[in-house]
Structure 1
Amino acid sequence: MPTLTKLYSLQEASEHNTKEDCWVVIDGKVYDVTTYLDEHPGGDDVLLAATGKDATDDFEDAGHSKSARELMQDYCIGELDPSPLVIPELEIFTKNQPTDFADKFMEVTMQYWAVPVAVVGISVVASLLYLRKK
């Protein structure tokens, strides 16, 4: 009778990212390396940095030995769920949003009319005070 493999999502694996509970994903397999953190030759920081993502490239770049690859099997708890992630669609534009530059400019100008009026008013007052001193 074949053994059933537990499937985990990357999101679920990424939630296990502390010294007390650390999972990593390598080559589509999920490993619970919590008990191995203190024994890891590169230190626990290396494993903790590999959580929350597929760490296959990081693992391969480190050049692990055959014995390290064999040791990994002791920590394998399942496989990464191959089903694609469902990303909800976002509505970018609303129906009332202006579509061309002139409409957007007029809308902004109408909302912030006080700033240009204040600049003009201060300029007029400054000019009058300057002329008055002469």
Structure 2
Amino acid sequence: MDIDELRDAEIQLHGLTKADGVYTFYHDETNNIRKLYIDDGRLNVAELKVFVLGGIVHEGAPRPIEIQSLREAMRIQKTAPEIKLEHVAKGNFLDVLRSRKLTTFLRWLIDNGLMIHYHELTIRCSCNTTSC
């Protein structure tokens, strides 16, 4: 089967109009196990967590992204090497949504022609997390 047939069907099904465009992705990950294996019927990790890959993306080739104004607006210390959720909001989901810093961050994304990309992968095991 030609992979383009599958791809084209998905593009049409979801009405994707810019699937062939050029995009630049910047990403980070959380809960990366690095190596998952089974030895003597047991997993090498105690707990399987949701792996998340996400970040920002913009149309076109890589370009400079000025973040100093964002860091200043959100009052993030210069010594912080990167912006993490703890700099944006704290609390439960609804607390995060109410955060003024989240609003500042989302407005900055829009103003700079940036979008959010996100993918989660859940590893499921039909056993408990330490033995299969």
TM (norm. structure 1) is: 0.30
Between structure 1 and structure 2, the one with the greater Rg is 1
- Hey, which of these two has a bigger chunk of strand by percent? 2
Structure with greater contact order relative to length (CA < 8 Å, sep ≥ 6)? 2
